Chains A and B, each alone.
Chain A
Amino acid sequence: DAKTTQPTSMDCAEGRAANLPCNHSTISGNEYVYWYRQIHSQGPQYIIHGLKNNETNEMASLIITEDRKSSTLILPHATLRDTAVYYCIVRVYSTGNQFYFGTGTSLTVIP
């Protein structure tokens, strides 16, 4: 699976949009981009995933560049409860492929 690069940490003001970038320049055509988050030692929580098109759900939006070499997770109105470590993972959706979590981005939402 392709490796990802994320900033170590970011801050965001409460109520503002949090934009978390991820670089995956070696991504293959059949690899999906997934985002999970982990709130202080709780189990990681699925946020969103996508292949080529932008995706949106009740938690967030995922913007994938046309060349698929990078993506951005957008939390539209960050709250204090969004403070967490966010993991960007690229993975082939097929048997035997696991989710390999990197170091992620530690997002702190500031009141």
Chain B
Amino acid sequence: DSGVTQTPKHLITATGQRVTLRCSPRSGDLSVYWYQQSLDQGLQFLIQYYNGEERAKGNILERFSAQQFPDLHSELNLSSLELGDSALYFCASSPSLSGNTIYFGEGSWLTVV
């Protein structure tokens, strides 16, 4: 158990819909990262937040957004969902901005039908 908690574990939704994935980082960790893992793309970095502020962006679509709240939990919002958005979404956290070691949650399985 890494200490990073993600909900929901599984989610099935229809195309065009919007979903929110939630992440609680390890106690004391200020950085939160979101990754997407699909069968054909591998593990892709989406976005990083540090203490409430966006710090780095990767391959995140404009239909996707994220935020980190004052209590340090984070949410990833996925809208106008397409079949290709079906993937495993991981949240990770680390104590610092540089994140020498990052700790991953167990992921949220999203299936778009």
Q: Which residues in A have some Cβ–Cβ distance to B below 8 Å?
A: 32, 38, 41-46, 49, 87, 93-103
**A43 interface neighbour in B45, B48, B98, B105, Cβ under 8 Å:** B105
Contact B92 A43, beta carbon cutoff 8 Å: yes
Q: Which residues in B have some Cβ–Cβ distance to A below 8 Å?
A: 2, 4, 33, 35, 42-43, 45, 48, 55-56, 58, 88, 90, 92, 97-107
Q: Which residues of A contact B58 (CB under 8 A)?
A: 98
Q: Which residues of A contact B2 (CB under 8 A)?
A: 43, 45
Find the residue from A41, A43, A45 having the highest chain B CB count within 10 A.
Answer: A43
Give Cα A44 to B33, complex, Å. 13
Contact B103 A46, beta carbon cutoff 8 Å: yes
Chain B residue nearest to A41 in the complex (CB): B88
Contact A98 B105, beta carbon cutoff 8 Å: no
Q: Which residues of B contact A32 (CB under 8 A)?
A: 100
Q: If the complex has contacts A43-B4, A44-B104, A49-B100, are A98 and B42 also in contact, measured as CB distance less than 8 A? A: no
Give Cα A98 to B56, complex, Å. 8
Contact B104 A97, beta carbon cutoff 8 Å: no
Find the residue from A42, A45, A93, A103 having the highest chain B CB count within 10 A.
Answer: A42
Q: Which residues of B contact A93 (CB under 8 A)?
A: 98, 100
Contact B103 A103, beta carbon cutoff 8 Å: no
Contact A102 B42, beta carbon cutoff 8 Å: yes
Give Cα A32 to B107, complex, Å. 26
Give Cα A45 to B43, complex, Å. 13
Contact B107 A46, beta carbon cutoff 8 Å: no
